[in-house]
Structure formats: C-alpha cells, structure tokens
Amino acid sequence: MAKQKTWNLSALSRGQDEKWIRRAYNNAIKSANDRIKTLSKPEYAGRSQAYEFYVKSDLQGAPYTKERGGNIVFKAIPRSADREQALEALRMVERFLQAKTSTAAGIKAVENQRRDELNKMLQEDHANHGSGGSAPELSKSEADAILRWMGSEEGRAAKASYDSNQTREAITKAYISTRGLADRPSVSDLYQNFMESQQTLADWIAQSEEDLGYYDF
C-alpha cells in the first residue's frame, strides 16, 4: 500500500499571496474529492457506511462544499473571497486530508478502535458491578449497528441532549439485552421506545443491567 502523502498546507501558506493559496487549495481538493469518490463506492457501504457516517456528516453544511451525485465534495473558492477566506478554505480541506476517516484504511482503524472501546466499556462496567460470570461482548455486527446509530442524525441529537458517554452506555446495554429475540428491534427502535417511555436515562440503564443479569451475584 502506498504511503499516504503528508499535508501541512496551512504551514506552507504563511506569508504566501492569495494566488498561491488558491492554487494550493485547488491541488488539495483534487486529492480530497478522489478520497470521497473512493469512500462513496458501493463496496464500502456495508462497513458502517463509511462515507455516510464518517465523511458526509462532517462536511454537511460546511462552506466551500457542494453536492454532486449524492455526495458532498469540495468546490472551488469563489472569486469574491479574499485572502483570509481562501486561507480558511485551505485549512478546512487540510483538516479533512489529515483526518484518519478520510481514507478507507483510516476508517477501518477507527472502526476497530471504537468497537474495542465499546467492549472495554462493558468489561470495566461489569467488573465495577461485581457481577458474576464473564462480561457481555459485542459481536462485530452489533458494534457496527451501535456505531452507525451514534453517527446518525438521531444519535448525534441524543448525545447533544444527554451525556455522550451515558448515551453510549445506555444504547449498548439496551441492544445487548435484546439478543435472542425473534423480532429484534433496531438500535433506533430501542431509542424511540426509551423516548416514549419517559424514563430517565439512569432508569433505562438500570433496567438493561437487570435484564443482563448484572445483579445476579
């Protein structure tokens, strides 16, 4: 695998004129848009929907972007933009290129890390409760379902309304507790059920822990 090019255009742009910044930006967005094109291909749709949840959600509504073929891509800087605006556009595309989630390999690494974090959270919490037996562990598909939900518009809204760590804990435990059901609800269904129940988040977590046998000493 070819080594990823290291970008530090903002540092290079210090002291450069607007023409240089625009030229650097145009070169950078070619690489950025190529990455977006790759991540939006059908073969990546099954892996936590790489483009939808790791790229599109970050770029939605950002300046100097546009929709093309259902994807959000970087566009040319308007002629009316001044040097500072052009420089901010350059910094934005640089942040994208530096992000792990701008490449397929980076997304895979981030997904593995986040799956591990979910399972580590369960193990530590299980131990803190002094529960017997082994801690529940998420399968890859279960972890991905939770991560997809957390990256969705509904999941982001939930994390904005509640403590993000508690939201992650609540939805993870609730989803595990539905294992074995013939008609297993989706993660979104579980959250909607919680909202309709008017429970507190703490009560919802406690209910899931009881279902999981956390208090069977």
Q: Tell me: the pLDDT tens digits for 23-71?
A: 999 999 999 999 888 888 877 765 545 666 667 777 877 888 998 887 8
Among candidate residues 78, 102, 126, the one where a domain is terminated: 102
Q: What DSSP string runs through 158-203? A: HHHHS-HHHHHHHHHHHHHTTTT-TTPPPHHHHHHHHHHHT--HHH
Do 34 and 95 belong together in one domain?
A: yes
Find residue 73's DSSP bridge partners. Answer: 66
How many Cβ atoms from other residues are within 10 Å of residue 18's Cβ?
Answer: 16
Which pLDDT band holds residue 4 (cuts at 50, 70, 90)? very low
Is residue 88 within 8 Å of residue 108, measured between CB atoms? no
In this model, does residue 217 exceed pLDDT 50? Answer: no
In a domain, residue 59? The reply is yes
In a domain, residue 3? The reply is no
Task: Give the separation between CA 213 and CA 183, rounded to whole angstroms.
Answer: 21
pLDDT tens-digit series, residues 96-117: 888 888 888 888 888 889 899 9
Helix (H) or strand (E) holding 1: none
Do 121 and 79 belong together in one domain?
A: no
Burial of 15 (0-12, 13-18, 19+ CB in 10 A): exposed
In a domain, residue 92? The reply is yes
pTM for the full predicted model: 0.69
DSSP state of 54: I
Do 136 and 207 belong together in one domain?
A: yes
Do 201 and 117 belong together in one domain?
A: yes
Helix (H) or strand (E) holding 95: helix 83-98
Among candidate residues 69, 102, 135, the one where a domain is terminated: 102
Q: Structurally, how many domains does the chain consist of?
A: 2
Task: Give the separation between CA 166 and CA 115, rounded to whole angstroms.
Answer: 16
In this model, does residue 5 exceed pLDDT 80? Answer: no
Beta-carbon contacts of residue 205 (< 8 Å; ≥ 6 apart): 166, 169, 170, 173
List the domain range (segments joined by +) for residue 20: 11-102
